[in-house]
Amino acid sequence: MKKSYEEINEKIRNGKAVVLTAEEVSELARTLSPKEIVRRVDVVTTGTFGAMCSSGAFLNFGHAEPPIRMERIELNGVPVSGGLAAVDTYVGATDCNPARPNYGGAHVIEELVAGRSVELEAWGKGTDDYPRRHIRSCITLADINEAILYNPRNCYQNYNAATNSSGRTLHTYMGTLLPKLRNVSYSTSGELSPLLNDPTCRTIGMEQVGGLGNTIVMEYIDGDTLKDVIDNGTLTPALAWKVARQLASALDYMHGRQTVHRDLKPQNIMVTHHGQDAKLIDFSLADSDTFGVLKLPAGTSGYIAPELFAPGAQADARADAYSLGMVMRDMAEACGDGKLARMAAQCTRRDPASRPLPLSSLFAKPQPRPWQRAVAAVLVCASLLVTHRRKGASPGE
């Protein structure tokens, strides 16, 4: 089923559009097919435009006559990006004219969204295909070809939260930060983030809650902790292997984005009632591997890697590998699986350098060693030789 922009805009104007958040659509996908979701839902809000130095809007103005390749561009006197294409720009929310510091790109975007006119002025060197060198005109949102709110940085970097520990209110590009850590400002695409949106990791986001304002919200997981599953005796070998594989995949995903969990244990792993899938939760000790101050020994006794107790030790992916091994050991003991126990032993080796990374390699099909290849080749040749001799034998032999 296809829907045109015109059809959706008409529904919006008439107050009949069905608008859902990305989180709501994810929940809907549990019971409906993509085709059915497209039929029922008109707009999905992604939350990708937030307080961030890279927030802005891509604009395509359309060609003038004669045409110009816009190399230097100003909107209401605010210098914006040129060089994207002949008549395209990116208006950064924090772009500003030094001569008028109280007015910037965010104000230009606000003017356009409100339907007000904005002065466009652009310059180019002039070429055979774009002979014009200067243009000055007034535009509105209705006049231009495209206008897309965007946050490029969220496509390649997870951004940290901003908070204020000082005694005075600070006004920053991450919003107004109240004194004494009274609020936290986040800016990410959350549910749709291409950087940290693994199905085995718990989703965290922000939501407006009546009476509370901006509030940190967590995905509700209908399930039990792995510790409860182990303690109540319902862990089967098949489920233990499934959980181990999913945890290894989730940790590899985090490690590939420079994040270490640092507190992996059965209490921080949920097993869903529907599908019995593992969900890795509680990232309160997790950190980016670029922040050494956060790498002081942390974790839970019995699961923390032994090398982290050495003076000056820093946590990395190998420490998570050790903790995964201890979790796998617990599961192996609970369900009596010797093979899983041997795999856990690989992860809990004393020498961090000898622990398997990436962790998903534990579950890869083992490749034959050179001597095994040689033996296999000899056996194949011998088998072919015997077959050849039998085919060449006389009937009485």
Write out pLDDT tens, residues 182-195: 877 766 655 555 55
| Token pair listed for 117 | 């006119």
Select the more confidently predicted residue: 75 or 375: 75
Domain boundaries, the chain: 5-45, 156-218, 223-363
Q: Cα(96)–Cα(106) distance, rounded to whole angstroms?
A: 9
CB 237 within 8 A of CB 243: no
Q: Which of 31-45, 197-211, 362-376 has the lowest mean pLDDT?
A: 197-211
CB 44 within 8 A of CB 22: yes
CB 272 within 8 A of CB 279: yes
Split at pLDDT 50, 70, 90, the class of 210 is low
For 115, the 3-state DSSP assignment is coil
Give residue 368's pLDDT.
64
Give residue 291's pLDDT.
43
Q: Cis ω on the peptide bond leading into residue 152 (within 30° of 0)? A: no
For 57, the 3-state DSSP assignment is strand
Contact partners, residue 52, CB within 8 Å, separation at least 6: 93, 151, 153, 154, 159, 173, 174, 187
Q: Cα(392)–Cα(397) distance, rounded to whole angstroms?
A: 10
Q: Cα(65)–Cα(118) distance, rounded to whole angstroms?
A: 20
Give residue 306's pLDDT.
92
Write out pLDDT tens, residues 211-224: 655 555 666 788 99
Buried b (16+ CB within 10 A) or exposed e, 237-259: eebbbbbbbbbbbbbbbbbeeeb
Write out pLDDT tens, residues 14-72: 999 999 877 788 778 778 888 888 899 999 876 555 566 778 999 999 999 999 999 99
Q: Cα(179)–Cα(166) distance, rounded to whole angstroms?
A: 6
CB 322 within 8 A of CB 302: no
* Vertex 355: Cα angle to 349 and 357 (nearest 5): 165
**CATH superfamily name and code, 223-363:** Transferase(Phosphotransferase) domain 1 (1.10.510.10)
Split at pLDDT 50, 70, 90, the class of 83 is confident
In the chain, the N- to C-terminal Cα span, in Å, equals 73
Q: Cα(124)–Cα(320) distance, rounded to whole angstroms?
A: 55
Give residue 290's pLDDT.
45
For 105, the 3-state DSSP assignment is helix
181: left (phi over 0), alpha (psi -120 to 50) or beta: left
Give residue 271's pLDDT.
93
Write out pLDDT tens, residues 94-138: 898 888 889 999 999 999 999 999 999 999 999 999 999 999 999
Beta strands in 49-166 (DSSP E): 56-60, 72-75, 78-80, 88-92, 96-97, 100-104, 118-123, 134-139, 146-150, 162-163
Give residue 194's pLDDT.
52
Q: Cα(360)–Cα(189) distance, rounded to whole angstroms?
A: 27
Q: Cα(324)–Cα(263) distance, rounded to whole angstroms?
A: 10
**Summary mean pLDDT of the chain:** 82
Write out pLDDT tens, residues 240-269: 999 999 999 999 988 887 788 888 999 999
Contact partners, residue 109, CB within 8 Å, separation at least 6: 56, 57, 91, 93, 149
Q: Which of 227-236, 288-297, 307-316 has the lowest mean pLDDT?
A: 288-297
Q: What's the gap between Cα 325 and its chain centre?
A: 25
Dmax over Cα atoms in the chain, in whole Å? 108
Write out pLDDT tens, residues 274-290: 888 999 887 655 554 44
Q: Which helix (H) or strand (E) holds 43?
A: strand 43-45
Q: Cα(340)–Cα(337) distance, rounded to whole angstroms?
A: 6
- pTM of the predicted structure, to 2 decimals: 0.49
Write out pLDDT tens, residues 304-363: 999 988 887 888 899 999 999 999 999 999 999 999 999 999 999 999 999 999 999 999
Select the more confidently predicted residue: 2 or 63: 63
